Structure 1
Amino acid sequence: MNKQFIAKRLIKLRGPRSREEVAEALGISVSALQMYENSQRVPRDDIKIKIARYYKRDVQQIFYQ
């Protein structure tokens, strides 16, 4: 799993939305979302599912090349 790939994908999906808006919708902290987008951490599986549902994508589309 490539952290840089995931980070770029998450930033692209977020688009013009603020980190605060997305983090609140996902039920995670802004700092956690920031770490995912800065390639510092990969989300746990349950968070991957929340992210995929939020962006209306499959987990595989977002997190796997």
Structure 2
Amino acid sequence: MSILKHEREKLNKTQKEVADETGISYSMIQLMEQGRRNPSDKNKVKLAMYYGKSVEYLFFNGTITNSD
């Protein structure tokens, strides 16, 4: 199960509710949860704020590395 789906289900929200409440399209929410689409940085931040989690936790498996 994806982290996004897990966090959504913890709030007892549907994908449609998350889409409506974040302004991210329903189809994008579906694709992100399936791991078939990477969101823009803007949408990563929206979802992190919505779920009260870090972008790192939601999208990078808790690991962000520095690059040049």
Range of TM-score over shorter length: 0.7 to 0.9
Runs of 4+ in 1 over 2 A off after TM superposition: none
Larger radius of gyration: 2
C-alpha displacement of 1:50:
0.2
Q: CA RMSD in A?
A: 1.1
Question: Larger relative CO (CA 8 A, sep 6+): 1 or 2?
Answer: 1
Q: How much identity, in percent, do the aligned residues show? A: 36
For structure 1, the 5+ residue unaligned runs are 1-6
C-alpha displacement of 1:19:
0.7
Residue 10 of structure 1 pairs with residue 7 of structure 2: no
Using the alignment, how far apart are the partners of 2:17 and 2:53 within structure 1? 18
C-alpha displacement of 1:53:
0.1
Render the CA deviation track for 1:7-30: whole Å, top value 9, x for unaligned: 700000000211111011110111
TM-score by length of 1: 0.84
